[in-house]
Amino acid sequence: MPKLTKQQILKEIVKCGKDPSYFLKNYARISHPMHGLMLFKTYDYQDQLLEDFNDYRFNVINKGRQLGISTITAGYIVWMMLFHRDKAILVMATKFETAGNLVRKVKNIMKNLPEWIRIASITTDNRTSFELSNGSSIKAASTSGDAGRSEALSLLVLDEAAHIEGLDELWTGLYPTLSTGGRCIAISTPNGVGNWFHKTCTGAESGENNFHLTTLMWWVHPDRDEEWFKKETRNMSRRQIAQELECNFNTSGETVIDSDIMEWIVSAVKEPKHKTGFDRNFWIWEEYDPSCNYLLSADVARGDGADSSTFHILKLETMEIIGEYMGKPTPDLYANMLNQVGREFGNAMIVVENNSIGYTVIDKLVEYGYPNLYYSMKSTHQYVEQHIGEVRNNAIAGFSTTSKTRPLIVAKLEEFMRNKLIKTYSSRLANEFRTFIWQNGKPQAMRGYNDDLIMALAICCWVRDTALQTNARELNYQKAFVDSIMTSKTVLNTKIRGQIGYTGEDTTSKMKEAKKLYSEYMWIIK
C-alpha cells in the first residue's frame, strides 16, 4: 500500500470509524493456521453479524463450529475499543482460559494494525486484559468469580453461553451492568434445552425478549459442501452432529431419552379432551372404559413448594396414558383426589411413592378404605397383594424410591420409551423429558427444572412390568394347570414300583401269559 498523506490518513480513520466491516477488511490482520498472518477477508455472514452488532443492543448467535464467529467478534471489539473512548468490555465463559483466548485474539489484531491507524495505544497489558490510552479496556472472567457484576459495561460477551452453568442466575446480576446502554453478544453451539442459551434463542425467535437471533448452520461457510459434511461427521455421534454443526437444541443435549424417541414423544402430543379437577390440572384424553383395567401411579411432592404432586392413569390393555395430574394440593386434598379418581376408573390399582408426605397420603387412602393399594416387601421391594400386605409386618404400602430403586425404575422407563411400548400425549411430560439429562452419571432434571411427571411414569412402568405382569403370568399358569387337570385324558403309566398305575415289565408279561392260558384252556374250566 502506497504511503498515505496526512489528509488521506485522516479520511481513512474517519471511514474506518464509521464502518467496522471496511476497517477489518482493509487493515485488520489475523493469524491463519495454514497461511500465517493475513488480511482479514470476511464472509457475507460475518459482514451481516457486524451490522447486527451495531444495529441491535442484544445479539444471540446459535452457531455451528469453526465458522469464525469468535474471530469476527474479536474484530468488532477491536473496532469498538479503538474508535470509541472509555468502552468497558467483559468477556465471560465457564472457563477462564476460554474467555482469555478471545481477549488474546483482540490483542493480536490490535498489535498487527498499521501503526498510523492505532490512534490509541496499549497502556496496561496483562495476559487476559489490557487498557488503551483512550480509556477503553477489556478483560476476561470466568463465571465462578464476581467480575463485572458491580461495574457498568459497554459490551458483555458470553462465550460458549450454552455451557455456562447457572447462567440464569448470573444474568440476573449481569443485566443491570448494561442498563446505561451496554450491549451483549452471546455466542454458542447448542447444549440441550432448558438452559439460558436455549431459552434466550427461543425467546428471541418468538419475540419474547430483546435479543436478536442469528442461526448459522455449517453450510453457511462457502468452502463447505455435502462431501465436507460426510467427511467431517464420519466419526461423530448423532448428538455431536446436532451440537457442533446443525444448531439443533433437541438432539444436542445429554438427555436420558434418545433424540429420535424424543421426536416421537413430541409428535404424539395433543390437547386433552378435558381439563378438570379443583385446579383444572387434571388432564383427561380418554374416558373410563368398564371393559378395561387401569393403573394409577402417583408421585407426591416433598412439601417445600419446589415440586408438584403428580399422577398418571395407564390403560393396561393399550398401554396409553389417558389421564394425568400435576399440581400442588395439600396432602389431604391430594389423597381425596386419588381416592375419587381411582374409584371412577374401576378401582384401579394405586401406587403412591411412599416418601415422608407420601405416607400421609397413603394413610388417608387406607382411612377411605380404598380396595386396591400397591404393597411391597421392605427388603426386596417385591409386590404382594393388598390382603397379604395388610397383615405382614415386613410389607409396606406404596413404592419406595431410593438410591437403589431410582436407577432401576428410570432404566425401565427408558426401555419402555425406547421400544415405544407406552403412549403419552402430554405436553407437560414432553417438556420434562427435554430437560431430563445425565448429570455426573445420574439421571435427573436439569438445574432449575423438575422431573415429577417423569418419576411418576417411571414408577408406573416398573409396576406394570414387574408386579402386574408377574401377577398376570402366575394367574395364567394357574388357569392353564387347572384346565389341564379338568380336561386331561392322559392314561397314567408309571414304572415306579408301588405307584398307582405301575406297569413294570414283569407285571405286564405275567398278565399277558395269564390271558393266553385263559383263552386256550377255558374249555377245561367249563
What's the pTM value of the predicted model, to 2 decimals? 0.61
Per-residue pLDDT reduced to its tens digit, 350-372: 999 988 788 999 999 999 999 99
In contact, 250 and 434? CB cutoff 8 Å:
yes
Distance CA 54, CA 175 (A): 19
Which residue would you say has higher pLDDT here, 492 or 164?
164
pLDDT band at 477 (very low <50, low <70, confident <90, very high): very low
Cell numbers at 149, concatenated: 457484576
The yes-or-no verdict on residue 150 having pLDDT over 80 is no
The yes-or-no verdict on residue 462 having pLDDT over 50 is yes
- The backbone torsions φ and ψ at residue 479, rounded to the nearest 5 degrees and listed phi first, read -60, -45
The yes-or-no verdict on residue 518 having pLDDT over 70 is no
Give percent above pLDDT 70 in the chain.
Answer: 84
Distance CA 34, CA 335 (A): 69
E-assigned strand segments in 307-426:
309-315, 320-327, 349-352, 375-377, 383-384, 395-397
Q: Which of 238, 285, 297 is nearest to 416 (CA)?
A: 297
Looking up cell 455472514, which residue turns up? Answer: 45
Per-residue pLDDT reduced to its tens digit, 13-45: 999 999 999 999 999 998 776 667 888 889 999
Which residues belong to CATH 3.40.50.300 in the chain?
Answer: 6-252
Kindly state the helix (H) or strand (E) to which residue 81 belongs, with its residue range: helix 69-83
Alpha-carbon torsion angle 129, 74, 50, 163, nearest 10: -90
In contact, 398 and 352? CB cutoff 8 Å:
yes
Distance CA 188, CA 112 (A): 27
Fold observed for domain 6-252: Rossmann fold (3.40.50)
Bridge pairing between strands 88-93 and 58-63: unpaired
Which residue would you say has higher pLDDT here, 191 or 505?
191
Looking up cell 444474568, which residue turns up? Answer: 171
The CATH label, of 2.40.50.140, 3.30.420.240, 3.60.10.10, 3.40.47.10, for the domain at 260-472 is 3.30.420.240
Which residues belong to CATH 3.30.420.240 in the chain?
Answer: 260-472
